Amino acid sequence: MTRTAEEIGRTELGPRPLPPLGEQRPPARPAAVDTVLGTGLRVIAVQHPTVPMVEVRLSVPFAGADPLHAARAEVLAAALLTGTERRDRVAIDTELALVGGEMSASADPEQLSITANSLADGFDTLLDVLADLLTGAVYADDEVAGERGRLVERITVAGSQPRVIARKALQKHRYGDHPFTREMPEAEDVAGIEAAQVRALHADAVVPRGSVLVVVGDLAPDDVVARVDAALGGWSSDRSATVLPPLPELTPGALKLVPRPGAVQSQLRLSAQSIPRTDPGYAALQLANLAFGGFFSSRLVENIREDKGYTYHARSYSEFTPSGATLLVETDTASAVTAGALHEIRYELGRLVLSPPTESEVETVRQYAIGLLLTSTASQAGLASQLSGLAPLGLGLEWLLDHPERIKAVTADQVAEAARLFAPTRFTGVVVGDPAGFPDLELLGGVTQS
Amino acid sequence: MTVSEKLHRYALANGLRVVLAPDPTAPVVGVSVHYDVGFRSEPEGRTGFAHLFEHLMFQGSESLEKLAHFRHVQSSGGTFNGSTHPDYTDYFEVLPSAALERALFLEADRMRAPKLTEENLRNQIDVVKEEIRLNVLNRPYGGFPWILLPPVLYKTFPNAHNGYGGFEDLEDATVADCASFFDTYYAPSNAVLTVAGDFTVDNAKALIEKHFGDVPARPRPARPSFAEPPPSGELRADHPDALAPLPAVALGYRVPDPSTDMDGYLAHLVLAGVLTEGDGSRLQQRLVYGERLVTDVNAGCGLFGPFEARDPDTFTITAVHSDEVGVDRVLGAIDEELDRLAGTPPEARELAKVTARWQASLHKEHDRIVSRTLALGAFELMFGDPTMIDRLPERIASVSADAVSAAAKALRPDSRAVLTVSPAGA
């Protein structure tokens, strides 16, 4: 068969109309308990029996002002699962594996996170291992030495990734040496951490008061809370977990050029102060952000990817901390079109203020936001992660279930008002790349090397 | 209830195979179309064409202007994507269940009459080149091991070449190439439509007939064999990587063909778990925690995961190690562990761990509607049997210790590829 492309693209019947949407069934409101145990641990348990599994997320606020805190926290997270008084590393892995379980720990400037799941009928085993780690992790010298060595190598590997280099540069440019910037500790700091320091940090900072345990799965919530209370009752402390101190407001200014000689692609990272999810205007901001660069059919992506072909990846999103929020706009482009991409980003930022999203754009992002919430919370893991992200703000399942109504109530005028947060004069940021590849960038202005 | 108990399979008059997997637990649906063509089928001189063509399928069709596909999915509250694999290309949407008919309409429209234009082709060549810069050229270990290992292990073009494509080949692509590729491979008889989630079977069947029923039938292309003999020695190659800070190594072996020897394939799958799944696994214990030779070690069937390609397919072991540890020490330790397993079968408890983790991971896959939809479609397309997904935990549980031992014995040093990545930065 040999047809031309034109013949392929036409049928006798011609173009057909888009079918209307059907009637949407709302999701069931799941049984849930949100309570604080005697130890100060908040437990959010939600029954979501889609599969015979259970998802667990423990968040311990874990900030620290000491310049070496990030290195200690990172080694602690890496070595937490290496052994307790009762179990060695292999025993931990074996017990979890036999109930189809997995558990991992990670640290960032805000919190220590433990993520786990298992078959629902293995929940008691999972809790027993978790309790054992929280109250009895030993951080044996040789295990800490091994994890420290591997961390140094992983940090070295990660530090060569362009996106990591760009993120680090942006954090430094935005917040100087605030603890929030220490997302990945320096390899030499990690190399100097001793097991005794890690044990001391665990005793001081891995505490239940202020921490949140989210449990989503094929289990009754009252029963979950009772089992958690019984299993984790021995995890206690007089201290409260340490919350990240508020960040300074962002100062708008020129983008900092960070040279990376030989790079074939540039990273553009822009940021501005924004509003948190607890703000009454948040739903409107969420829609304004979607319209700008928050999804594929956004102005930014349609411009610099689908029209210009400058990039494979461009997006804008909100970044939340316990005390506030910022907007981020990012893309990676070939060196030769770096200046072009920056020009278009600034153009789209300005256009969002001067020609805010139309009624039809607002309807599109409204449906998208509501639908995405529905599909992203349909799975146990998705719902658990959403709840875990909201918990530090004091929010929970009610907020999540009510959010579609808030999105439905937003008017185009409110979106236009929120769009003013995207004014190009409110932004700062970084450009990482090989300056030899984009000599025109300086002609645009607003980029500095110092 | 399992997926299979509620599974409906049938075909339309034009040959389109359909898999329906109703599940009312959440008011969302997944819709996917798998076409039986991947990058192994692209011709010499056109590396990367199957993936480039996947991009073009999003650029409009008779009823949909450029960008309309994305807008309609997203304004219905849905998400979408597509991906190109060695043996197939998939497209999917996940949406609130009210948007089921829209998703079917969108997939049917581009199956019937995509708009393949010069302008869209040129634009998407640029986008694909940026994708390659982002994922391969500007990143350490870019293409490791999926692009770098096949040319060492395989001799023939379909198996050995880079599925992302060379920039020259991408730039040479023409609209006529696109038309011929579409007419040959994107026939309804060469595709599987899958719908999973919250819908009733009768309604879905009616909507599918309404939208796909008049996609004209075209002959199903003959599927070529990509068979080639396994290597008759150890084949080595080195890839200097200017961005990589540490050396890395990938071993490639051949795995049994899952369509003719599923038991042999599953034994390799369990072997991969015994070797590297969890802190208590053999290679983690020896290489990472015991002798501390490597930072990371992974083993698995398939370059993109298991059940992801037809024969010939690859069993890989990858590791990142420090400069001081030579690659031969890493290989020596791996070979010793394989020998040990070949001589003494693994213990029952090691197998029980792998089995329970597989059972849990299949539940998790089922819980994510995207992965459930895509897995059903891929199993129908490649093995003609989507119910196999539900039987996998049982099949995996029944793999014997002796079978795992035999799989370890089959990973011979004299029939494998060894790809090393050497840091080559200034």
Residue-wise pLDDT for B232-281, tens only, equals 999 999 999 998 989 999 999 999 999 999 999 999 999 999 999 999 99
A39 Cα to chain B: minimum distance (Å): 31
List B residues 41-100 in contact with A (Cβ-Cβ < 8 A).
61-63, 66-67, 70-72, 74-80, 94-100
**How big is the CA angle at A284 (ends A278 and A289), to the nearest 5 degrees?**
105
Cβ contacts of A230-235, under 8 Å, gap ≥ 24: A231/A124, A231/A127, A231/A128, A231/A130, A231/A131, A232/A37, A232/A39, A232/A41, A232/A127, A232/A130, A232/A131, A232/A134, A232/A208, A233/A37, A233/A38, A233/A39, A234/A131, A234/A135, A235/A39, A235/A41, A235/A131, A235/A134, A235/A135, A235/A208
B69: confidence class by pLDDT, cuts 50, 70, 90: very high
B3: confidence class by pLDDT, cuts 50, 70, 90: low
Respond yes or no on whether the N-terminal peptide bond of residue A435 is cis (omega within 30° of 0): no
The last residue of one of the domains, among A217, A232, A247, is A232
In a domain, A21, yes or no: no
Asked if the domains B4-212 and B234-345+400-423 are classified in one and the same CATH topology, the answer is yes
Helices (H), B258-326: 262-276, 282-283
**A11: chain B residues, CB-CB within 8 Å:** 62, 112-113
Give the C-alpha separation, A381 to A379, whole Å.
Answer: 5
A395 at B interface, C-beta within 8 A: no
B211: confidence class by pLDDT, cuts 50, 70, 90: very high
Q: Do B246 and A153 touch (CB under 8 A)?
A: yes
Give the C-alpha separation, B331 to B371, whole Å.
Answer: 34
Give the C-alpha separation, A412 to A417, whole Å.
Answer: 9
Q: Do B71 and A297 touch (CB under 8 A)?
A: yes
ipTM: 0.91
How does pLDDT run across A319-345, given as a tens digit for each residue?
Answer: 998 889 999 999 999 999 999 999 999
Phi, psi of A324 (to 5 degrees): -175, -160
- As a whole number, mean pLDDT of residues B214-223 equals 96
Altogether, the residues listed in chain B come to a count of 426
B291 Cα to chain A: minimum distance (Å): 10
Q: Are residues A391 and A437 in the same domain?
A: yes
The last residue of one of the domains, among A232, A247, A277, is A232
Q: Do B129 and A334 touch (CB under 8 A)?
A: yes
Q: Are residues A224 and A154 in the same domain?
A: yes
Give residue A148's identity as a one-letter amino acid code.
Answer: R
Helices (H), B14-173: 49-56, 68-75, 100-112, 118-132, 150-153, 157-160, 167-172
pLDDT at A2: 80
> Quick check: A450 pLDDT over 80?
no
Nearest to A97 among B97, B114, B356 (CB): B356
B414 at A interface, C-beta within 8 A: no
**A16: chain B residues, CB-CB within 8 Å:** 62-63, 105, 109
Mean pLDDT, chain B, integer: 95
Nearest to B179 among A3, A263, A379 (CB): A3
Nearest to A374 among B77, B102, B184 (CB): B77
**A397, HSE (Cβ side, Cα atoms, 13 Å):** 21
Q: Are residues A297 and A203 in the same domain?
A: no
**A191: chain B residues, CB-CB within 8 Å:** none
In a domain, A384, yes or no: yes
The share of chain B scoring above pLDDT 70, in percent, equals 99
Mean pLDDT, chain A, integer: 95
For residue B30, CA distances in Å to B56, B98, B202, B371, B379 come to 22, 12, 17, 9, 16
pLDDT at B241: 94
The domain that holds A406 is classified in CATH as 3.30.830.10
Mutate to test the interface with A, among B51, B69, B138, B171 (most CBs of A within 10 A): B138
Contact B39, B50 (CB under 8 A): yes
Nearest to A371 among B95, B113, B122 (CB): B95
Q: Are residues A143 and A276 in the same domain?
A: no
A30 at B interface, C-beta within 8 A: no
Q: Do B367 and A51 touch (CB under 8 A)?
A: yes
Q: Are residues A204 and A308 in the same domain?
A: no
Beta strands in B103-258 (DSSP E): 191-197, 234-241, 248-255
Contact A179, A244 (CB under 8 A): yes
Nearest Cα residue to A285 out of A325, A230, A238, A228 = A325
A307 at B interface, C-beta within 8 A: yes
For residue A351, CA distances in Å to A355, A429, B379 come to 5, 19, 47
Closest residue, chain A, to B28 (C-alpha): A375
Q: Do A11 and B112 touch (CB under 8 A)?
A: yes
Give the C-alpha separation, A151 to A71, whole Å.
Answer: 10
Q: Are residues A191 and A271 in the same domain?
A: no
> Quick check: A406 pLDDT over 90?
yes
Q: Do A92 and B198 touch (CB under 8 A)?
A: no
Cβ-proximal residues to B332 (8 Å cutoff; 6+ apart), any chain: none
Give the C-alpha separation, B107 to B113, whole Å.
Answer: 10
Cβ-proximal residues to A161 (8 Å cutoff; 6+ apart), any chain: B139, B140
> Quick check: B1 pLDDT over 60?
no
pLDDT at B323: 86
Q: End-to-end CA distance of chain B, in Å?
A: 59
Give residue A151's identity as a one-letter amino acid code.
Answer: L
Contact A144, A75 (CB under 8 A): yes
For residue B4, CA distances in Å to A98, B8, B357, B388, B389 come to 25, 8, 21, 8, 8
How many CB pairs below 8 Å do chains A and B form together?
266
pLDDT at B5: 65
Q: Are residues A259 and A204 in the same domain?
A: no
pLDDT at B345: 97
**A364: chain B residues, CB-CB within 8 Å:** 71, 74-75
For A445, left (φ over 0), alpha (ψ -120 to 50), or beta?
left
pLDDT at B2: 59
> Quick check: A154 pLDDT over 90?
no
**B184: chain A residues, CB-CB within 8 Å:** 1
- As a whole number, mean pLDDT of residues B150-170 equals 96
How does pLDDT run across A186-219, given as a tens digit for each residue?
Answer: 999 999 999 999 999 999 999 999 999 999 999 9
A440 at B interface, C-beta within 8 A: no
pLDDT at B101: 97
**A362, HSE (Cβ side, Cα atoms, 13 Å):** 22
B168 Cα to chain A: minimum distance (Å): 17
Q: Where are the domains of chain B?
A: 4-212, 234-345+400-423
Nearest to A156 among B71, B94, B245 (CB): B245
In a domain, A8, yes or no: no
| Residue the block writes with tokens 């100060």 | A40
Q: Are residues A300 and A380 in the same domain?
A: yes
A357: confidence class by pLDDT, cuts 50, 70, 90: very high
In a domain, A22, yes or no: no
A222 Cα to chain B: minimum distance (Å): 21
Mutate to test the interface with A, among B56, B171, B210, B363 (most CBs of A within 10 A): B363
> Quick check: B154 pLDDT over 70?
yes
How does pLDDT run across A171-195, given as a tens digit for each residue?
Answer: 999 999 999 999 999 999 999 999 9
Is 3.30.830.10 the CATH number for B4-212? yes
Q: Are residues A227 and A271 in the same domain?
A: no
pLDDT at A27: 84
Q: Are residues A176 and A281 in the same domain?
A: no
Q: Do B357 and A3 touch (CB under 8 A)?
A: no
Altogether, the residues listed in chain A come to a count of 450
A180 Cα to chain B: minimum distance (Å): 26
How does pLDDT run across A253-304, given as a tens digit for each residue?
Answer: 999 999 999 898 999 999 999 999 999 999 999 999 999 999 988 999 999 9
Q: Which CATH number fits domain B234-345+400-423: 3.30.1130.10, 3.30.830.10, 3.30.390.10, 3.40.190.80?
A: 3.30.830.10
Cβ-proximal residues to A251 (8 Å cutoff; 6+ apart), any chain: A428
Nearest to B98 among A1, A24, A161 (CB): A24
**A94: chain B residues, CB-CB within 8 Å:** 278, 280, 349, 353
How does pLDDT run across B286-334, given as a tens digit for each residue?
Answer: 999 889 999 899 999 999 999 999 999 999 999 999 889 999 999 999 9
Contact B137, B131 (CB under 8 A): no
- Considering Cα of A434, then A437, then A439, then A441, what sign does the dihedral take? negative
A408 at B interface, C-beta within 8 A: no
Cβ-proximal residues to A305 (8 Å cutoff; 6+ apart), any chain: A311, A312, A313, A314, B127
Q: Do B320 and A153 touch (CB under 8 A)?
A: yes
Q: Do B70 and A297 touch (CB under 8 A)?
A: yes
**B186: chain A residues, CB-CB within 8 Å:** none
How many domains would you assign to chain A? 2
A306: confidence class by pLDDT, cuts 50, 70, 90: confident
- As a whole number, mean pLDDT of residues A146-155 equals 91
> Quick check: A1 pLDDT over 70?
no
Q: Are residues A311 and A429 in the same domain?
A: yes
Cβ-proximal residues to B355 (8 Å cutoff; 6+ apart), any chain: B270, B393, B396, B397
Nearest to B63 among A15, A150, A379 (CB): A15
Mutate to test the interface with B, among A312, A337, A370, A377 (most CBs of B within 10 A): A312
**B25: chain A residues, CB-CB within 8 Å:** 49-50
In a domain, A25, yes or no: no
Give the C-alpha separation, B52 to B69, whole Å.
Answer: 17
Exposure letters A335-356 (e unless 16+ CB within 10 A, then b): bebbbbbbbbbbebbebbbeeb
Give the C-alpha separation, B408 to B390, whole Å.
Answer: 26
B196 at A interface, C-beta within 8 A: no
Contact B403, B221 (CB under 8 A): no
Q: Are residues A69 and A218 in the same domain?
A: yes
The share of chain A scoring above pLDDT 70, in percent, equals 100
Give the C-alpha separation, B380 to B382, whole Å.
Answer: 6
A244: confidence class by pLDDT, cuts 50, 70, 90: very high
- As a whole number, mean pLDDT of residues A229-247 equals 96
How does pLDDT run across B366-375, given as a tens digit for each residue?
Answer: 999 999 999 9
Contact B381, B88 (CB under 8 A): yes
Structural domain span for residue A289: 255-448
How does pLDDT run across A80-115, given as a tens digit for each residue?
Answer: 999 999 999 999 999 999 999 999 999 999 999 999
Report pTM.
0.91
B130: confidence class by pLDDT, cuts 50, 70, 90: confident
A102 at B interface, C-beta within 8 A: yes
B58: confidence class by pLDDT, cuts 50, 70, 90: very high
Nearest Cα residue to B2 out of B399, B394, B357 = B394
DSSP state of A246: P
